[in-house]
Structure 1
Amino acid sequence: MNKIVMTLLLVTLILLVSACLNSSNSSQKRQVQPEPDKPVESIAPAEISSRREASDPPITFALTKNADNVPSQQYDIRLICDGQSEAQVQLDQSRRTAVTALHEATGKTCTIQWSTSLQPDSVQELAFTVRAGEYIWARQTLYSRDGQAESRPFVLPQQPVQIDIETASLSAAQAGTPLRLMSFNIYGGGTLDRNEVGAQNLRELIEYVSVQDPDVLFLVEAYGSGQQIVDGLNARRAGDAAYTGVQITKETGQAADRDNLWLISKLEVEKVYPRTSDKVLTSFNFGGARLRLPDGRHINAFTAWLYHADYAWGLNHQSAIESALGVKRTYTDRQVIATDEIRRVGMAKVLLQKQLPGYIENDDAPVFIGGDFNTQSHQDWTKQFAAAPGHGGLTLSWSTLKLFDEAGFIDTYRYANPDAGQYPGRTWSPISGFGYAPGRIDYILARGKGVRVVSSHTDVRRLERHQGTDLNRLFPFYSDHGAVISDVLIQGAGTGTTRTPTFDEPDNQNTAWPAPPAGKPVPPKELTASASTEKPGAGEASFAVDGNPQTMWHSMYPDIPPQPHEITVDMGRVRQLSAVRFQPKMVWNMNGTPLEGVVQVSEDGTTFQDVEHVIWARTSTPKDVDLHGIRARYLRLRVEYSMGGASSLAEITPYEE
């Protein structure tokens, strides 16, 4: 009996020891570990919450300094997600340092906070990149004069993450020269195709540009307004350094209002480059000047416009929306990206291989190109963003911007906003409608040693002081293109950046496809429709209830009758309705998309009552109206205001309770 008890006690003791060893090994596995494929000279401690599980994805911080002649410092780095500290590390600038911690922050909105002791008369630079595998999700370069800074918010991907950090301590007198760059296609010289409200719009446009205060403005479609814009900007400067305007487009026999490209700058113009004369690329498309920086150095700045046909965004938009709806696509991927190859690829090759080298020769000064490229970027349409709103699962390897990428240029907007799902950067089109696929066709590109991108954003809405007017109702922005504004820093002499970095807010609402309304959709075979105006054969009212989103009802054109236009759906019998969905047309030309109207119902088809006055965004996504259990046989939409004055819908779908 004693031997049995002793045996049991011994077995128990062995099990306890084994459990302790396993617990110790498990704990060691969760401690900080260096990356196996990176040289690591020291490992700093990381705070890891005891509540985390081994299945939580790891986050690795890796630090290097980007200059050898600066003093070594220690940095306190914190990952803050939804207001809580998820990871904290102390990193030593004197050595390559990697620290790994577990985190529970996947999918959360996070920032990076950092602090360090400040050297006298210095500016701290910290550049971080958030990577997950081969993809970059966030990136920013921060500057601090007090040794502390916090990044803009970013969404942490739901997978293991590495945060690469580069630091430098800069002399206050060698903190660099800041520049604000602005690219703006102003549509008909800012006069909105010279219609009756054009003069008012141009005045407001000049005021808007003045508020942005660019150092260099890449102006497209100046069309007779270039000098007026220069004079208007200078009239607002109250003794500050004046703007100089350089008219780029100067063709033989050119009409006075065909001066497409201008370069406008507060910097001294040292040299205007001669007119481009290649048969593929003329001064209507490309040209620029050498601009003198305050410290005596210079930059090369060029304005560009690449040909608009074939229409890259139109085919992209239609393909993305068809893919999202699961209907047969009109165009293949190859047909979509082939729009670049009609003219833009050839123009880009001449620009990069012939014209630009001929201008700058062996000059290694920074080069900036801004303008309207009339195409999408390959960086926005990779597999990384296939599931992003508005992408419809598409991956498209656009050719034109890839050529600039291969030539060493940085797309300043996408560099500052690498998450194309959160920050689509759409510039096409505040007037014509944003559609489904994000249309980013305006760019500021940068190349050169010592160029740092500090921030970049787009504008597609008027200044608040210009909103709430009839002009704003017709034209929500000053042009059919949004503006791109990038703040950069050129390293070297200078006091560094003093502007507050400006970024876009996350923007995926215009293209996020809403879930279907509550209730059961009424089958198309039980619906008929009639309209006060329709295009026979191509836009009859019946197409709005045929269950096919690739057909549409469209008011008569080109002789469009005055609004309001009405379309009425007969559901065959009285039904108790939960909602109705209105699907705008899917093709690239969004003219006719309803913006304002009234939804009405009736039981007898004679007496209608108003249910809701609607105001809708200029987008292609469905617009739902809650009907709250109303009983009706007939549904009517009275279109009071729409894009282009026409009226059109792809589908009207009632839902029964």
Structure 2
Amino acid sequence: MNPIIGKLLTGAVLSAVLAATAPAPVASAAASGPRRDTVTYTLTGSAEARTWQTELRCDDRSHARARLVPKRPGQTRVHHVAGRTCTVATSTSRRAGWVDEVTITVRQADEVLARRVLYSHDGLARSTDFVVPKGELHVDIAVTQLPQDRVGTPLRLMQFNIWRSGLLDGLAGPEGGQENLRQLVEYVRSEDPDVLFLVETYGSGEAIVEGLNEGLPPERRYQGVQVTREPGQAPDEDNLWLVTRLPVETIYPRESGGDLTSFNFGGARLRLPDGQHIHAFATWLHHTDSAWNPTNQSALENVLGLSRTYTDEQILAADARRRIGMATTLLRERLPGYIGDDEAPVFLGGDFNTLSHLDWSERFADAPGHGGLVLDWPVMRMFDEAGFLDTYRFANPDAARYPGRTWSPYAGFGFAPGRIDYILAKGDAVRVLGSRTRTVRLEEHLDSPLVDLFPFYSDHGALITDVVVRGVGPGPRPGEEPARDEPEDIGEITWPAPPEGQPVPPAELSATASTENANGEAHRAVDGDLRTHWHSQYSPEVTPLPHELTIDMQRVRTLRAVRYQPRIVGNLNGTILRARVEVSEDGQTYQEVAQVNWARNSLPKDIDLQGVRARYLRFHVELGTGGFSSAAEITPYVEPDES
């Protein structure tokens, strides 16, 4: 058992007796006939005798109410709400001078559907929402009573890879880069972290700390710790920084050599207000080889019925080239060398450049974007087995509803969820209250000209986790909501059916383009092979937008639709986001028939051209991810008698 959970379950066991208003017991029915949709409540924790009123709440209506009384056996009841989105609400009498630490865990067998840790001053507690499954449902409520001055210290932790110093790798020009950095600092200020793990700081660390401190009172000001400090290091090669408003007791010495240097790992010991301390480390594991690219491609190939390019073993081998060795050194040498036998909480925040076994288990094989894949990612399993808690997945255990994508708001989220940024925690005193990601700019920044190419401040999303470190202190302020993610709209990544009509065979199509790259020629957009693609020129130099791609259907036909399939191989640079679609019968005179604004993902996009007569189709691309244009396939659909 994870020590963080185990700590919450100490004390006498209290079982549930259901209220008289609940339906009669169904144990015999469940045993003799088909399994019923039931809920069982269990209360554990402190043995102070109070009655807890508990219920499922769905659409603000009460279902399966229970009155939980100490030292009575639990019973099971029919709930009649399978398939609905609900929460568990529980309440008890308030005890002056005390705070209830409540953990609500909703599960089916061993699979956790929802989990929430909260601190109740008024006897009220509520879980996060979850979809109620068919069959048996279990709700475990663990309660620990704490004196109101011995709850602990709340902390907000934030992980952010800011992409080449927040200046967008020069892609927005000097002025655009500086404007992005200014907005990035405003965004971080809005999150108000106590500890900020920065990756790719590259010369901006001092400017970020100065911007964060502007106008703050002395007791709220930040201190920056430059983690990356290699011999002979250039001023703009300081990859990792730790920024905190907690007092810095010790900056751990630089450790270099081998596969893990201060470019990849380092941190500091930070003092809490109650005199305790924590260990905080900024982390970057190497991006070679890509974990996400072959996973995304393989999930798409499965959905499209294509033969797999990579086996499961080949996908997982992406961790082997660099990251397994780095993680091994970190866990076996660097971390023990820094903290020894100290049992104080340890937090690692960073860009780990890999996916998690918790997201790609058998349970989530059919989750949106997973394409049936089951992948036991070795690096994140190493941290799990070393006792580290993945704070995002602890707070959001359902990877289907909460994929937690952080890769990539810039190039597009593709098909497979790319969760590669993490905040990990270890220590009996740690309680995770909530965790969320952010991948869009603040509302006040959405009118910026940067938004078209750069919907967020970086090519990584930001990750925010709220925790409590148990000890002296009042804990979170009453009524203060922790970081909480919104469930993803599953419909957004459902593969669409083909348009009506008959696809024109690739043999009857040809294509030309105003720009193309070697191995990305225009004809690849109509060759019928989803694993090839047209790409605008990027080597030896980039051809700037706009770009044009023209498709010749060999004769005039009556169109019904045209389908654009973004590339499925490699990254998503070049996904068409905004374009004009024009048609012509003679190749000389064109007329506009559609304007498109498309999402940054791998799904096909369809254009309704019902009844349009044309031989030539021309895409005038005004905006594509990265400033490029690409297409795996563009397929015209025509009237069946004209194919």
| TM superposition score normalised by structure 2 | 0.91
Whether contact under 8 Å (2:226, 2:240) holds in the other structure is yes
SS at 2:112 equivalent: strand
State the Cα distance separating 1:297 from its structure 2 match: 0.9
- Residue in 2 aligned with 1:165? 141
Greater mean deviation of Cα atoms: 332-341 or 430-439? 430-439
Deviations 1:571-605 (A, max 9, x none): 45544433321100111222221111012233444
Match of residue 547, structure 1, among 500, 517, 528: 528
Distance 2:104 2:449 in 1: 45
User: What letter is aligned with 2:140?
Assistant: D
Structure 1 pair 537/427, CA: closer, same or farther in 2 (3 Å)?
Answer: closer
Task: Give 1:397-408 correspondences, 5 Å limit.
Answer: 397-408=376-387
SS at 1:321 equivalent: helix
- Residue in 2 aligned with 1:31? none
Structure 1 pair 40/505, CA: closer, same or farther in 2 (3 Å)?
Answer: closer
| TM superposition score normalised by structure 1 | 0.89
Structure 1 pair 603/104, CA: closer, same or farther in 2 (3 Å)?
Answer: farther
Whether contact under 8 Å (1:62, 1:97) holds in the other structure is no
State the Cα distance separating 1:437 from its structure 2 match: 1.1
Match of residue 402, structure 2, among 412, 415, 423: 423
Whether contact under 8 Å (2:565, 2:633) holds in the other structure is yes
1:270 aligns with 2:249: yes
Whether contact under 8 Å (1:375, 1:400) holds in the other structure is yes
User: What letter is aligned with 2:424?
Assistant: L
Match of residue 455, structure 1, among 424, 427, 434: 434
State the Cα distance separating 1:332 from its structure 2 match: 0.9
Deviations 1:55-76 (A, max 9, x none): 57433333233345xx222111
Distance 1:104 1:547 in 2: 49
Greater mean deviation of Cα atoms: 407-416 or 119-128? 119-128
Point out where structure 1 has 5 or more consecutive residues left out of the alignment.
Answer: 1-38
Whether contact under 8 Å (2:162, 2:460) holds in the other structure is yes
Greater mean deviation of Cα atoms: 471-480 or 401-410? 471-480
Deviations 1:304-360 (A, max 9, x none): 111111111112111111122111111111011111111111111111111111111
Deviations 1:243-278 (A, max 9, x none): 111111111111111111111111111111111234
- Residue in 2 aligned with 1:15? none
User: What letter is aligned with 1:108?
Assistant: R
1:366 aligns with 2:345: yes
Task: Give 1:487-636 correspondences, 5 Å limit.
Answer: 487-498=466-477, 499-508=480-489, 512-525=493-506, 527-533=508-514, 535=516, 538-558=519-539, 559-636=541-618
State the Cα distance separating 1:302 from its structure 2 match: 0.8
Distance 1:145 1:536 in 2: 63
User: What letter is aligned with 1:190?
Assistant: G
State the Cα distance separating 1:97 from its structure 2 match: 4.6
1:191 aligns with 2:172: no
Q: How many aligned residue pairs are there?
A: 615
Structure 1 pair 604/403, CA: closer, same or farther in 2 (3 Å)?
Answer: same
SS at 1:90 equivalent: strand
Structure 1 pair 652/96, CA: closer, same or farther in 2 (3 Å)?
Answer: farther
Distance 2:20 2:519 in 1: 66
State the Cα distance separating 1:434 from its structure 2 match: 1.3
State the Cα distance separating 1:432 from its structure 2 match: 2.1
1:439 aligns with 2:439: no
- Residue in 2 aligned with 1:23? none
SS at 1:471 equivalent: coil
- Residue in 2 aligned with 1:241? 220
Distance 2:157 2:224 in 1: 15
State the Cα distance separating 1:636 from its structure 2 match: 2.5
Structure 1 pair 245/41, CA: closer, same or farther in 2 (3 Å)?
Answer: closer
Structure 1 pair 443/537, CA: closer, same or farther in 2 (3 Å)?
Answer: closer
State the Cα distance separating 1:300 from its structure 2 match: 0.9
Structure 1 pair 293/40, CA: closer, same or farther in 2 (3 Å)?
Answer: closer
Task: Give 1:477-492 correspondences, 5 Å limit.
Answer: 477-492=456-471
Whether contact under 8 Å (1:602, 1:608) holds in the other structure is yes
Whether contact under 8 Å (1:62, 1:98) holds in the other structure is yes
- Residue in 2 aligned with 1:9? none
Structure 1 pair 525/235, CA: closer, same or farther in 2 (3 Å)?
Answer: closer
Higher Rg: 1
Distance 1:629 1:419 in 2: 45
Match of residue 77, structure 1, among 54, 71, 75: 54
The two structures, once aligned, show a CA RMSD in angstroms of 2.3
Distance 1:252 1:100 in 2: 65
Match of residue 363, structure 2, among 372, 384, 397: 384
Distance 1:537 1:394 in 2: 32
Structure 1 pair 90/201, CA: closer, same or farther in 2 (3 Å)?
Answer: same
1:128 aligns with 2:104: yes
User: What letter is aligned with 2:591?
Assistant: Q
Greater mean deviation of Cα atoms: 596-605 or 480-489? 596-605
